[in-house]
Amino acid sequence: MASKLLRAVILGPPGSGKGTVSQRIAQNFGLQHLSSGHFLRENIKANTEVGDMAKQYIRKGLLVPDHVITRLMVSELENRSGQHWLLDGFPRTLVQAEALDRICELDLVITLNIPFETLKDRLSQHWVHPPSGRVYNLDFNPPHAHGIDDITGEPLVQQEDDKPKAVAARLRQYKDMAKPVIDLYKSQGVLYQFSGTETNKIWPYVYTLFSNKITSIESREAY
């Protein structure tokens, strides 16, 4: 793959604002935002072979194993070999990171370090309308009437995953899986860490980093 294309990864625990930061990077810098969750849903909906494999694990409440998610993401990346991209949700484990390393060289990996209490508070504000999948956040986009879906008037529920005890377990699990991935990228010299409690305060630093990276890649192109 040509080095002049920007290859980036964003890491962060559930509730870290990763999706928001990814969208802003995509909009400001013209990168394709490649979300593993989005590709999984698309493949499950289309009943592809890899989608059917993933569905069997998700149904049982299990994590999709490394070999399934890696196969899915590698084929998506091969289709986008001529684009700048930002990976979100992959790699989650060291095995996935090593598989990604074999097919391309990353320019930068950003990781969002958000205090545990902030994450716990954010995730506990998530309420969902199960039939449609509409998600509300009591802080950012609350429903017009508390506990009621805006469109259907049906009740909202808090998913088991977002209840305090489950949140603590999810965050611990993320930390355990992410540590070797973060250590790998740190050793490669491509890791940049951003800490804080507000996405809007972290964003200017992320913006500056990407501005500098894009410029240096464009100037390499000139030679």
List binding-site positions for a ribonucleoside 5'-triphosphate. 15-20, 135-136, 199
Query: For the range 157-163, what are the long-range contacts, defined as Cβ-Cβ under 8 Å and sequence gap of 24 or more?
Result: 157/127, 157/128, 157/130, 158/124, 158/126, 158/127, 158/128, 159/126, 159/128, 161/123, 162/123, 162/124, 162/126, 163/124
- For the annotated binding site, the residues are 15-20, 36, 41, 62-64, 89-92, 96, 135-136, 170, 199
Long-range contacts for 186-193 (Cβ within 8 Å, ≥24 apart)? 188/106, 190/106, 190/107, 190/108, 190/109, 191/108, 191/109, 191/110, 191/111, 192/108, 192/109, 192/110, 192/111, 193/110, 193/111, 193/113
Q: Structure tokens of 97?
A: 């990171």
State the binding site for AMP.
36, 41, 62-64, 89-92, 96, 170
Residues ≥6 apart with Cβ < 8 Å to 115: 197
